[in-house]
Amino acid sequence: MAKLFFLISGEYESLSFSELIAILETEGHPHSITEKLDQTVRLESDLSCLPDIQRRSAYTRVCALELFTSDATDEAITQAAKAVDFNDALEEGKSFAVRIRRVKEYSAKSDTMRLERKLGKHILESTVGKSVNLETPEKTFFGILTNHKLIFGLNLAEIQPKPFVERRPRKKAFFHPSAMNAKLARCMVNLAHAKSGKTVLDPFCGTGTTLLEAALIGCEAIGIDVQRRMAEGTRRNLAQFGLNSGIIVADARKLPFTKIDAVVTDPPYGKSATTLKASTKTLVENILSTTKTLLRKGQRICIALPIMVNQQGQVEHMSKDLAGFVEGLGFKTTESHLVYVHRTLTREVMVYERT
């Protein structure tokens, strides 16, 4: 297995880390975690994992082959760099550049440029037939300054955020204020261990964000919404990106299926949502009860539950209220992540696994 490291998003670090591991698990890539740092994960896995991470991930930014890790002091970095044969990383005649990324406030901003020059000079002087090309390098060395360390290696892959920006709610053909953003929806699909060719159900599909993100990685996406207007809006949004999924206008509490492979959903709550004259908690209990018989052992539900501040200023955690009910149904809680939405609402992304 290769020594790899990953720069992950600082938006929701626990989600970013869990998404990366979920992709490796879902796609069957053996891995061993070496170290978890701020916005950085070091692990060992096969290089064959990189295309799957590129194809699926929402919150991973850079994937790199690790060449050395050292304390972030000049002396330690110099010694570590001297121990690396950079000829092995660069083919004859290849041009290169060095890029250093600083995480949070672990170092001064000027340190990144100084280190780029210092390491670039060392690589140039210690190799044969190589050249520096800052504009269009054939190879890029990449380092992360984090937790008072420098993790340094060869950049193998980058994941551009632009496609997710192009799929944000207001860019779609049909918009609703309750719509989840594309990155969070994709992450939830990954946390549910949804595989290409397998069925992903969203029983409260709304504008279809979850269906779109599941379909883009090859899943068979099925959505249900009680409002015909929302179902039609979902169809428009899928068509905008050249996709088509099964959309059913129905009550999510009465699912017309016998088997599914994963559930990913953001149930309705708040003033702009339709809850069928039932509380969100009741809706969630009903959908959990219904999907229990459709999922097999080890299959997952990833659901976004609200943590809300009521009129009395009290914080209400739906996940805590549901804990006993979930366990009684035969699910275990495998993960929980907090996602801030606005002053009075935080989503809690829960992952339940059928036991």
pLDDT, tens digit, for every residue of 159-185?
999 999 999 999 999 999 889 999 999
Residue after which a domain boundary falls, among 91, 125, 158: 158
Mark whether 246 and 300 lie in a shared domain. yes
For residue 1, what pLDDT is reported? 92
The DSSP letter of residue 179 is P
Rg of the chain in Å (alpha carbons): 23
Mark whether 150 and 275 lie in a shared domain. no
Mark whether 44 and 69 lie in a shared domain. yes
Mark whether 139 and 226 lie in a shared domain. no
When pLDDT is averaged across residues 221-225 and rounded to a whole number, the result is 95
Q: Are 301 and 352 in contact (CB under 8 A)?
A: yes
pTM (two decimals): 0.94
Domain count, the chain: 2
Mark whether 76 and 147 lie in a shared domain. yes
When pLDDT is averaged across residues 191-216 and rounded to a whole number, the result is 97
Mark whether 142 and 202 lie in a shared domain. no
278: pLDDT strictly greater than 90 = no
Mark whether 152 and 174 lie in a shared domain. no
Supply the CATH number for residue 181's domain.
Answer: 3.40.50.150
Mark whether 214 and 242 lie in a shared domain. yes
Mark whether 241 and 335 lie in a shared domain. yes
When pLDDT is averaged across residues 203-220 and rounded to a whole number, the result is 96
311: pLDDT strictly greater than 80 = no
Who's near 103: CB < 8 A, 6+ residues apart?
Answer: 10, 37, 38, 39, 40, 144, 145, 146, 147
344: pLDDT strictly greater than 90 = no
Residue after which a domain boundary falls, among 158, 189, 223: 158
Mark whether 151 and 227 lie in a shared domain. no
Mark whether 188 and 216 lie in a shared domain. yes
For residue 204, what pLDDT is reported? 94
When pLDDT is averaged across residues 95-106 and rounded to a whole number, the result is 92
270: pLDDT strictly greater than 70 = no
Mean pLDDT of the chain: 93
Spell 154-169 as b/e; 16+ CB within 10 A means b: bbbbebeeeebeebeb
Among 48-62, 67-81, 134-148, 272-286, which stretch is predicted with the lowest mean pLDDT? 272-286
When pLDDT is averaged across residues 118-126 and rounded to a whole number, the result is 96
> If pLDDT is split at 50, 70 and 90, which confidence band does 272 have?
very low
Degrees to nearest 5, angle at CA 286 with 281 and 290: 150
Q: Provide the domain limits for residue 245.
A: 165-354
Supply the CATH number for residue 49's domain.
Answer: 3.30.2130.30
Residue after which a domain boundary falls, among 114, 140, 158: 158
Question: How many whole angstroms from its chain centre is CA 6?
Answer: 13
The DSSP letter of residue 35 is E
Mark whether 151 and 221 lie in a shared domain. no
